[in-house]
Amino acid sequence: MKSWNEVETPSIDSSISFPALNLTNSASGKKESIRRKQLYRMYVCGITPYDATHLGHAATYLTFDLINRYLTASGSEVRYVQNITDIDDPLLERANRDGVDWTDLAHQQIDLFRSDMINLRVIPPAHYIGAVDAIPLVTDAIENLSSKDSIYSVEHDLYFKVHADVQFGQRSHLSQEKMMEIFAERGGDPTRVGKNDPLDCLVWMSQRPNEPGWPSPFGTGRPGWHIECTAIAIKYLEPSPSEDALIDIQGGGSDLIFPHHEMCAAQAQMLAGKPLASTYVHAGMIGLDGEKMSKSKGNLVFVSKLVAAGRDPMAIRWALMKDHYRQDRMWTDELLVAAESELIALRSCLAQDDVAPTSDLIEKIVDALSDDLNTKGVISVLNTWVERTQSGDTGGDAQSLVRALDALLGIKL
Ligand code: ZN
């Protein structure tokens, strides 16, 4: 699948020193220093294309864009892969509900997502892979799992035995009761008769009446969600045999911790005999007016609608950075208005000939980002710099700050 257009990133002053990046690893629950390397492999779960791109999506992709930008600016290469679940129950349900063809709905939403990502200046993944295109990878992965006795059938559907991986549950740290509850809420089928274990997950679904299907060694059907990401990550990130884990960073919204990322990790462990990722990073959820933003509540705020209404995409980006990425938080119009006015003040300072000192400021921005992407701290030091410039402080280089803001924060002014 075509990724979105490249987002140009300026190079920044080579004299800037980058501390090691620290990120909170959901699997350990701790903030950990990311080992310095020349090449990082990062996989971020993409959208199911039927309601792109609400602010929860935007906050997630922004988080991983900041990681990508930091590691790249520090001189490393980031191999970045994202999937798109272009066949799944929610997509078919939405297309049915709205009386539209599911492929038309998917294509329309994927186009919208691409333009939203460009507007938000999110650097595209090197590989943007659709589930449909990944079917041969998925069937290979299922055959491999089957050869390790971790697949069984219920009627004509295939399931993965989650407990084939003895570490199942160790990345998400939930009780059995909680896993059962969340599994049912997020696409799982714990009560299906015939399963060995209620938490076993579907990897191949035989074709249902009036639903699409693709040929496979197991009959016509379609891939399960978790195996799609597992197979795509392992194929396109080209893991190195010398590394302890297949990839460096597995990411997404915190609603993917369980079951999605736990299932992917268990499948990868069985497929490759080692952990899927060294670090699992999860972005918090965005709510609206005191409530969780969700499809079922119908209170989603879309990037494309804000942009169509004339709101500055850079202010959307800035507003999402005003709190910590892991924090569940509320979106309000006041937040966006405040971001817009802070950006106006920043732009106006950067247009001046004399500005407050910038070297220290850029160093502080880098330090804050290295500390688990402390964007709240970044915005605070930038606002202080604006005040200093407004009160007549001089000695800085506005252009070097413009480049740093673009390269590190994706804020182009
Ligand atoms: Zn995924």
pLDDT at 245 (0 to 100): 98
H helices of 74-101, in order, are 89-98
Q: Which two tokens stand for residue 310?
A: 């004339």
The reply to whether 401 falls in a domain is: no
How many angstroms is it from 322 CA to the middle of ligand 1? 26
How many angstroms is it from 242 CA to the middle of ligand 1? 24
Q: How confident is the model over 6-41, as pLDDT tens digits?
A: 999 999 888 899 999 999 999 999 999 999 999 999
**Range in 100-114, 128-142, 160-174, 291-305 with the lowest mean pLDDT:** 291-305
Angle, in degrees to the nearest 10, between helices 89-98 and 102-119? 110
State the CB neighbour count (10 A cutoff) for residue 383: 13
How many angstroms is it from 229 CA to the middle of ligand 1? 5
How many angstroms is it from 292 CA to the middle of ligand 1? 21
The reply to whether 47 falls in a domain is: yes
CA distance 371 to 358: 20
Average pLDDT over residues 90-111: 95
The reply to whether 86 falls in a domain is: yes
Assess contact for 192 and 176: CB atoms under 8 A: no
The reply to whether 385 falls in a domain is: no
How many angstroms is it from 248 CA to the middle of ligand 1? 15
Sign for the pseudo-dihedral over CA of 324, 256, 9, 52: negative
Q: Is the pLDDT of residue 42 over 90?
A: yes
pLDDT at 14 (0 to 100): 85
Q: How confident is the model over 148-191, as pLDDT tens digits?
A: 999 999 999 999 999 999 999 999 999 999 999 999 999 999 99
Amino acid present at 367? D
How many angstroms is it from 121 CA to the middle of ligand 1? 22
Residues that place a CB less than 5 A from ion ligand 1: 45, 229
How many angstroms is it from 247 CA to the middle of ligand 1? 14
pLDDT at 298 (0 to 100): 81
Closest to 138 (Cα-Cα) out of 250, 213, 245, 216: 216
pLDDT at 253 (0 to 100): 97
Q: How confident is the model over 270-314, as pLDDT tens digits?
A: 999 999 999 999 999 999 988 878 777 888 999 999 999 999 999
How many angstroms is it from 345 CA to the middle of ligand 1? 39
Q: Is the pLDDT of residue 403 over 80?
A: yes
Closest to 379 (Cα-Cα) out of 408, 399, 354, 357: 408
How many angstroms is it from 208 CA to the middle of ligand 1? 23
Assess contact for 343 and 382: CB atoms under 8 A: no
The reply to whether 117 falls in a domain is: yes
Q: How confident is the model over 345-383, as pLDDT tens digits?
A: 999 999 999 999 999 999 999 999 999 999 999 999 999
CA distance 181 to 191: 11
pLDDT at 294 (0 to 100): 75
Report percent pLDDT > 90 for the chain.
95
Q: Report, in this order, helix, strand and coil percent for the chain, each rounded to 5.
A: 45, 15, 40
Number of domains in the chain: 1
The reply to whether 403 falls in a domain is: no
Q: How confident is the model over 313-352, as pLDDT tens digits?
A: 999 999 999 999 999 999 999 999 999 999 999 999 999 9
Q: How confident is the model over 87-99, as pLDDT tens digits?
A: 999 999 999 999 9
How many angstroms is it from 209 CA to the middle of ligand 1? 26
Assess contact for 80 and 295: CB atoms under 8 A: no
CA distance 21 to 109: 34
Domain residue limits at 108: 22-287
Average pLDDT over residues 189-211: 97
Beta strands in 185-235 (DSSP E): 201-206, 221-223
The reply to whether 305 falls in a domain is: no
Q: Which two tokens stand for residue 134?
A: 């990944």
Q: Is the pLDDT of residue 52 over 90?
A: no
pLDDT at 296 (0 to 100): 75
pLDDT at 297 (0 to 100): 81
pLDDT at 216 (0 to 100): 98
How many angstroms is it from 226 CA to the middle of ligand 1? 6
How many angstroms is it from 260 CA to the middle of ligand 1? 6
CATH at 75 = 3.40.50.620
The reply to whether 314 falls in a domain is: no
